[in-house]
Amino acid sequence: MAYEYRPAWMEIDLGALTHNYKQLAKHYGGTKMCAVVKADAYGHGMIPVARKLHALGVDFFAVATIIEAQTLRSALPNVDILILGYSPVEAAEVLIEQNLIQTLYDTEQGEVFHIAGLKYGKPLRVHVKVDTGMRRLGFSADKTGIDAIEALSSLNGIAVEGIFSHFARADETDTASVHAQGQLFITVLEALSNRGMTFKLRHICNSAASARFPEYYFDMVRPGIVLYGQPPSEEVALETLGLREVMCVKANIAMVKSVSKGDGVSYGHRYHLPETMNIATIPVGYADGLLRGLSGKAHVLVGGEPCPIVGSICMDQCMVAVGEHMPKMGDEVIVMGGNAHPLVSVAAYAKALGTISYEITCQFSLRLHRRYLE
Ligand SMILES: *Cc1c(COP(=O)(O)O)cnc(C)c1O
């Protein structure tokens, strides 16, 4: 296969994934886990990641879209798959046929799903979503919303199997917002229970919340980013969980040369060498996901030492100042991840770009072949 000759690739450490899963399972103390594998498992590859987690005992997964759900269904015929996002009513039949669980947050949508379920002869499985503060999807957490949920749960064409909500600020030091949302969720559940409505699966915790607030576990937690060994934020670093980075981007050096003091490097010559030194050219660029905004702000590990990326990152390549070192063409370098060094961690890349670790792992492109390590 030609990709074996591409001197840049991504390694996905399924051993690290297993380690993270076990650490988290211990932390959650037996609470059911819904593994969030949307966006191709945050850029790690949904199918191999989900297969591994399934082998470890996970039987409930969440994705964002119906296409992701169908792809996962083709690999794992017997697991529960919750679609967290919007699916148009036209998708009803596919949802039923593929045994998918749809998030429901709108009365009209629910009524059409109900009719589709009756027509199909099998109810469409749904989890009802309540908006307790995120202001994204969900029925309002008040009488109007509760009335709507009550009305929908009497429809035979849909099977309301769960109810959930989502925290907006679980990754911050200040916990006031989490408690406000958590308490509001409890209030809604109590109001529904007073009307005789109970739900098999109640859930609200994402990674950050499930690491910190066992009082809001209910029946299930929905970790995503932590499974991949990344902290949800700088504020919630979760060092005590001992998570390991699952993703690692590697490359072989394309060329090494001595460049003179004062010479400009890369497009626009935006960087000039303060002294004569060796420059290594790495065959990874912004088309691979090494975003151009990282120019001059990130490091690459050469011979175990963090070396700065200098000059503008190109589409397919970038240049790294290796100082006195003289690595050879073909030498392996770690571009990012793999717990190799704090300066090349996903978190360091995120910080350099002023973004979050999620965006970093998600945007590495498929031009980098993924190698799965057991
Ligand atoms: C993405 C997502 C999650 C997982 O979030 P992490 O911060 O990665 O744990 C959980 N729930 C919902 C509704 C989501 O959209």
Strand-pair partners of 128: 104, 163
Residue 241 in any domain: the answer is no
Query: How confident is the model over 80-130, as pLDDT tens digits?
Result: 999 999 999 999 999 999 999 999 999 999 999 999 999 999 999 999 999
Residues 114 and 176 in one domain: yes
Residues 345 and 215 in one domain: no
Q: Which of 85, 42, 90 is nearest to 66 (CA)?
A: 85
| Confidence (pTM) | 0.97
pLDDT at 5 over 90: no
Residue 97 in any domain: the answer is yes
Q: Which of 28, 38, 52, 271 is catalytic?
A: 38
Q: Which of 22, 257, 267, 328 is catalytic?
A: 267
Yes or no: say if 207 and 226 are a contact pair by the CB < 8 Å rule.
Answer: yes
Angle between helices 46-55 and 66-75 (to 10 degrees): 50
Q: By mean pLDDT, which of 3-7, 25-29, 285-289, 314-318 is the weakest? A: 3-7
Pick from 20, 36, 136, 203 the residue to mutate for probing ligand 1's pocket: most ligand atoms within 8 Å of its CB: 36
CA of 225 to the centre of ligand 1 (A): 8
Q: CA–CA separation, 138 vs 135, rounded Å?
A: 8
5 is catalytic: no
Residues 62 and 150 in one domain: yes
pLDDT at 214 over 80: yes
38 is catalytic: yes
The last residue of one of the domains, among 189, 208, 235, is: 235
Residues 263 and 177 in one domain: no
CA-nearest residue for atom 15, ligand 1, is 84
Residue in the structure block whose two tokens are 């908006």:
131
